[in-house]
Chains A and B, each alone.
Chain A
């Protein structure tokens, strides 16, 4: 008995008080400090322009749609897969809702519901391809991304759908600014809270995390990995559908151009989420913080008149550095 107790003291006892886990307590909040440092830096560098309501509004309005697509991407990432087609699904949802209203004269609510259903089905199809044929999801969904993007271009001929949309209703759904913040930000907050709740506080989310951590181990623990993966893909499609709907509200027209451009910023932000709060795990709070860090950074760089390509260098470096730091910290703690 005595030998076991001393062993435990040596293995963990001495360091336990300082380290609640395998990391220093401050590490999960490193990105919070980064955000604060960034805000101070740009406030000092561009005092007249950065710390203003106008620049804040720019950040917020850029963040909403990106944030929604990041939420959609997070679900499949947590479940150990990746659905790169989601930005294209967003466009499909937004265009199909617009087309249903414009060409077929559907009312807003059924049109939106139908387009979200379509988006969920596309997600489910991606899931089926991955689960049934065991093709790596990145490859499968890059394929569907390319197909969907081409189909959008072909069917919409590059034109926006504007005629016959209920402009007034759409305005009502996007224009108001409760407490001075755009309504789209509230949509993002509602979706983020729901995704956070499902991924971190329900058995479903924990099981997604389990299959993301090791699908074979999950299977042998009696967890149905295939079914859960299908659910994750369908949920991703559903959330991309919502993102498309909000995009429609915001633009008040169906545009074929928005979605595909979100692929890389969306993935970058989703990956970066693993460097905050729950290190090594894709998580909602980390994603929201990542959006803030990247969007304030980009806006700040514009305001201090950095060259236009600087923002991408900033985003890329932030991603690589943060994840490399997380890796190094985990290794040194082994």
Chain B
């Protein structure tokens, strides 16, 4: 970098409760550069970002922005947090104005009209003119929310910051929407803004970023020019070992036994219409679609968490209607929910309590909860699923995303479900954990369970699924199986491109 770097981090150290999390990080970001920050969960990415944002003080080293030391509250860096940090009950314009303050009139009254117009301008500049600045955030979909969060951050940039940090901005986005986000970011880059782009996905990083820095175990392993490296090399650097890309052996593909576990006929819900499908014993079926296509609603209807308005559902030959998830669980259905923090886990309880919450009665012997039996079972599962650190009695929220997800999967797998639904099991999960999770799903199928995986990662669906169902606007519009279930064809089917896809409607 010939000119002064926008950001320079020199020999940064940070220790948290006795753990040396960051061990001498050196990092520079130039103007008009998109710099990828990659690493597995627990590598230190979040801690580094929290140091940049001033959330953590640093133990040793220096952080300079534009040659000036990092100061609290100076707004030198703009951030888009992974959870977006939007307030659900406020409007789009109000959320955007939160960062810079409301425009006020002569009586201190908020100038709503100007504020809404400014917000609309900002969103239009990002290619999202369809968002009503007066709409409540809670009413927007995830794509629109991400746009609002970026709009708010870029507004911070107008105030003077030239550096934008994006923490896994694509985590909640369907793969077909990622292009639009990248376009926005490239537009920002053209104005000279430097960006740090945190991601788990090598494919995204190679499309977008100029340089890639890889963190592992608190050390910055390498910084590479994107043009001079390969995905395989980056993944190898992240893991410190060669990645076994697919967990599925070719012989399993297309396997489908006669006995159906679940069959739906004409099932309708609030947004989904006339869903008919059959899933056989030992089958892994992928379910995918754009935001709002109804995958999650379908899953929740099967699991009894939303009401089924019409249609028939048969589980192992028995017609069933689940009015509550408890009935589904009793019938041998498990569900890994999409929103891990919202309804997938008890953050303040221990990891073990999360795992055993589904059937506590098993440990109730002679009128007493037997803690030893419970702990033994938890320890076994923690070992099986390679949860790190392997301590079931630790608070759930103290584990990294990948390990939390392994524990949630363990919770259902120990019940030996006949049907297991996994809604976005890969969100916020590092590659190593993802492999453990997918291997466990194939394993469950091999033992005779029917597995439904909802995901926006079409390459993963290709790797692990026997069959992929694609949903659009509440209907199943395509079914791809065997050699047809490729990443490319799945992606095309989600956006509705007519290809050599077996269209059902």
Contacts and interface: CB of A to CB of B under 8 A. Distances in A.
A21 B393 contact: yes
A210 B325 CA distance: 15
A209 B128 CA distance: 44
A11 B367 CA distance: 38
Interface stretch (A41-49, A218-226, A251-259): A218-226
A3 B216 CA distance: 9
B398 A219 contact: no
Ranked nearest first, the 10 interchain pairs of A and B with the lowest CB-CB distance are A222-B329, A12-B389, A216-B343, A203-B360, A3-B240, A213-B346, A222-B326, A8-B389, A15-B18, A8-B388
Interface in A1-60: 1-4, 6-8, 10-16, 20-22
B346 to A, nearest CB: 4
A215 to B, nearest CB: 9
Contacts of A157: none
A285 interface: no
A11 B389 contact: yes
Contacts of A203: 360-361, 363-364, 369
Interface string B159-172: 00000000000000
Interface in B471-486: none
Interface residues of A, number: 40
A223 B356 CA distance: 12
A15 B324 CA distance: 42
Contacts of B305: 219-220
B357 A10 contact: no
Given A1-B241, A3-B216, 7 more contacts: A4-B388, A4-B432, A7-B217, A203-B364, A206-B360, A217-B342, A220-B337
B345 interface: yes
Contacts of A202: 364, 367, 369
A332 B15 CA distance: 12
Given A22-B394, A207-B360, A220-B325, A11 B388 contact: yes
B218 interface: yes
A274 to B, nearest CB: 11
A6 B390 CA distance: 12
Nearest to B336: A220
Interface in B322-354: 324-326, 328-330, 335, 337, 342-349, 353
A88 B476 CA distance: 56
27 contacts: A1-B241, A7-B42, A10-B19, A11-B388, A12-B19, A16-B391, A22-B395, A203-B364, A206-B353, A206-B357, A210-B349, A210-B357, A213-B347, A214-B345, A216-B343, A217-B343, A218-B346, A219-B324, A219-B343, A220-B343, A221-B325, A221-B329, A221-B411, A222-B326, A222-B329, A222-B330, A223-B326
Contact of B344 (A8, A210, A220, A280): A220
A333 B17 contact: yes
B107 interface: no
Contacts of B346: 210, 213-214, 217-218
